[in-house]
Amino acid sequence: MRYNKKYNKGFKKNKKKKFEDPPGIAVNVYNNNVEGALKILKKKVKESNLFLDLKKKAYYEKPSRIRRQKKNLAKLRNKYKNIKEKKNY
């Protein structure tokens, strides 16, 4: 069945990506555009939180200290949530 462009203006075909992304955190360089590839790589690394994980795993941290930090962060979140609710009233 053919689709008439006149009647199906909102109809879109599934477009394939021009280039396939390599697996993991890797970037292909096209037309010797290293600066563009670096920009994409930095964005991917930032979105994956790779450096945050590496910082956390740089040294051993006791499980009790990790639990204490999580508990303190939860207290802070709750505190600011309560302040925000009071402003709304």
Note the pTM of the prediction, 2 decimals: 0.49
Q: pLDDT, tens digit, for every residue of 53-73?
A: 899 899 999 999 999 999 999
Q: Residue 89: its pLDDT value, please?
A: 76
The DSSP-derived string for 2-48 is ---TTT-TT--PPPPPSSPPPSSS-----TT-HHHHHHHHHHHHHHH
Share of the chain above pLDDT 90, in %: 49
